[in-house]
Amino acid sequence: MSSFASEHSSEPALAIEGLSYAYGPVRALADVSVTLARGQFCALLGPNGAGKSTLFALLTRLFVSRAGRIAVMGHDLGAEPRAALAQMGVVFQQSTLDLDLSVMHNIRYFGALHGLSRRQATERGEAALAAIGLADLAGRKARALSGGQRRRVEIARALIHRPALLLLDEPTVGLDAPSRRAITDHVHALCREQGITALWATHLVDEIEPQDQALILHQGRVRAQGIVADLCAGQSLAERFAALTHTDEAAA
């Protein structure tokens, strides 16, 4: 196990039990239960309105639910929010880089928020940028980067405090095919080689590999969960998704 290993490595990276949430009379999630082990890449699939955004908001504590439990590396998000959130890295759908700062300044600033010294943040940032082939861009302003480069920097930044769980909300939206492939390959490698667990929300089935876990949400409920190859049973993932959600959106 890499340096991302935790003293709680025997615990699942993410455990969700009986999670429900409603916006007034509108039910967004209903009795959702999920367990992800260390090193798993799990694709979160669902049509618009399925509850994916609500689930991410609950995981990052933007919303709080009284129904159900979330634990990250054994830390209950409700009882130990700081400890649970410290084990989490997040890449939001909309870019959160400060475009007027350099790549390294973005990383150092984020490291400081997690209690890292300037030296620690710089050393880890340099290593992370080298791993994604962007070491020569450390001094460049984020504004000058391509969309794919910005996304890779955001992933590197999200890992600077060495979390066990990486949440990615539609991280390849608006990127070209080569950039999407480079980012999905990178995150799969993080799971495989460093034992990081990734929960990857997407509507693009070509980003998902047969050995990945998949969690399919529809109308706030889990419709299927398991290894992609086992879930499909002779169908393509797009066909299986459409059958479970009664929509052609997966093929879009």
Angle between helices 103-113 and 147-158 (to 10 degrees): 30
Burial 188-225 (b: 16+ CB within 10 A, else e): bebbeebbbbbbbbbbbbebbeeebbbbbbbbbbbbbb
Q: What integer pLDDT is reported at residue 91 of this predicted model?
A: 94
Classify residue 26 as exposed, middle or buried by CB count within 10 Å of its CB (0-12, 13-18, 19+): exposed
Count of Cβ atoms closer than 10 Å to residue 48 Cβ = 9
pLDDT in tens, the chain (252 residues): 344 444 445 789 999 999 999 999 999 999 999 999 999 999 999 888 899 999 999 999 999 998 999 999 999 999 999 999 999 999 988 889 999 999 999 999 999 999 999 999 999 999 999 988 899 999 999 999 999 999 999 999 999 999 999 999 999 988 888 889 999 999 999 999 999 999 999 888 888 999 999 999 999 999 999 999 999 888 888 889 888 887 444 433
**Phi, psi torsion values for 102, nearest 5 degrees:** -70, 165
Q: What integer pLDDT is reported at residue 225 of this predicted model?
A: 94
Instruction: Answer whether 64's CB lies under 8 Å from 141's CB.
Output: no
Q: What integer pLDDT is reported at residue 235 of this predicted model?
A: 87
Q: What CA–CA distance (Å, rounded) separates 42 from 102? A: 32
Count of Cβ atoms closer than 10 Å to residue 58 Cβ = 23
Q: What integer pLDDT is reported at residue 123 of this predicted model?
A: 95
Q: What integer pLDDT is reported at residue 2 of this predicted model?
A: 40
